[in-house]
Amino acid sequence: MLRRLADVLNTIELTGLIFVGSVLAGFLGALTGLGGGVVIVPLLTVVFGVDIKYAIGAALVSVIATSSGAAAAYVREGYSNVRVGMFLEIATTVGAIAGAAIAIYLRASVIAIVFGVVLLYSSYLSFRQKEHDAEDVVPGRMATWLRMDGSYPTAAGMTSYHVRNVPGGFALMFVAGVLSGLLGIGSGAVKVLAMDQVMKLPFKVSTTTSNFMIGVTAAASAGIYLSRGYIDPGLAMPVMLGVLSGSLIGARVLAGAKVRVLRVVFTIVIAVLGVEMIFNALTGRI
């Protein structure tokens, strides 16, 4: 498909379309904590016909850009929990290296199906999850010891919250790291659900802390893709610039967004992309 588009469009036009799609991906990634890669990989493989391993390589670079762009704004505004993010990055980094090493030897269709299943399950969990009251969460012993409890800005001012079940969240973060290296998505969906559902962080704190973490996770696995030649500068550059631009816009919008709306967007986007990836893998388009 990429060849068919190349026959119709010149290089500049094709690069421009990839850039525009990447801006949208970065915007959604910043709002939901998905990191942009969850949209970039299906966009490049399904719409532009890029080989999925090259798409993953470009997505990993874009995920680093998203983290660099949106995370800085979130930390400055007081949304991200830096202590939680830095501790959980230990698990995601180890998992990312393992996932990238595995991905090199898997067929593209297998990776696409795993990608789709992960997205559909994440969508299901997000749909059934209700917003928890931060005041009802009992602080965990390990979280208290590591001083992970924090506060974040709301319409009523700075609101305090407690963190719990750190070991459970740490274990899920290793899984998230494996998926990041395997699929090139930054594993934001798993990170957000782990912090929101298992560790009971407020949803906005979960999404912003996910954005803070994904750059480190992606960098760990991007090195392996780079060494194998799966990062094409001509593809990665417009993707990275687009995602970075979109993530900065998304960071500005998030402050005034309603949590319920964010959950709906999160659920719909990853469900549609999950179905699309599985369908294209089973029909031989990937």
Distance linking the first and last C-alpha atoms of the chain: 11
Give the pair of three-digit tokens for residue 260: 């319920």
Q: So what's the pLDDT on residue 153?
A: 81
Confidence check: pLDDT of 229 > 70: yes
Q: So what's the pLDDT on residue 2?
A: 47
Q: For residue 128, what is the enclosing H or E element?
A: helix 108-128
Q: How many domains does the chain have?
A: 1
Tens digit of pLDDT for each residue in 57-89? 888 888 777 666 667 777 777 888 888 888 888
Tens digit of pLDDT for each residue in 158-170? 888 888 888 888 8
Confidence check: pLDDT of 130 > 60: no
Give the pair of three-digit tokens for residue 77: 């505004």
Mention every residue, 6+ apart, whose C-beta is less than 8 A from residue 190: 118, 122, 172, 173, 175, 176, 179
Confidence check: pLDDT of 144 > 70: yes
Domain that holds residue 121: 2-282
Alpha carbon of 258 to those of 27, 53, 84, 204: distances in Å?
A: 16, 36, 23, 9
Q: So what's the pLDDT on residue 49?
A: 79
Q: So what's the pLDDT on residue 234?
A: 86
Q: What percent of the chain has pLDDT over 70?
A: 79
More confident call, 7 vs 213: 213
Average pLDDT, the chain: 77
Q: How far apart are CA 151 and CA 161, in angstroms?
A: 6
What integer is the mean pLDDT of 100-121?
A: 78
Q: So what's the pLDDT on residue 19?
A: 92
Q: How far apart are CA 112 and CA 286, in angstroms?
A: 7
Q: So what's the pLDDT on residue 3?
A: 47
What integer is the mean pLDDT of 84-106?
A: 83
More confident call, 136 vs 270: 270
Confidence check: pLDDT of 185 > 70: no
Give the pair of three-digit tokens for residue 269: 């986007």
Confidence check: pLDDT of 122 > 50: yes
What integer is the mean pLDDT of 182-197?
A: 72
More confident call, 180 vs 245: 245
Q: What percent of the chain has pLDDT over 90?
A: 1
Q: For residue 202, what is the enclosing H or E element?
A: none
Confidence check: pLDDT of 50 > 50: yes
Kind of pairing between the strands at 150-154 and 157-161: antiparallel
Mention every residue, 6+ apart, whose C-beta is less than 8 A from residue 13: none
- DSSP letters for 230-268: ---HHHHHHHHHHHHHHHHHHHHHHTT--HHHHHHHHHH
Confidence check: pLDDT of 237 > 80: yes
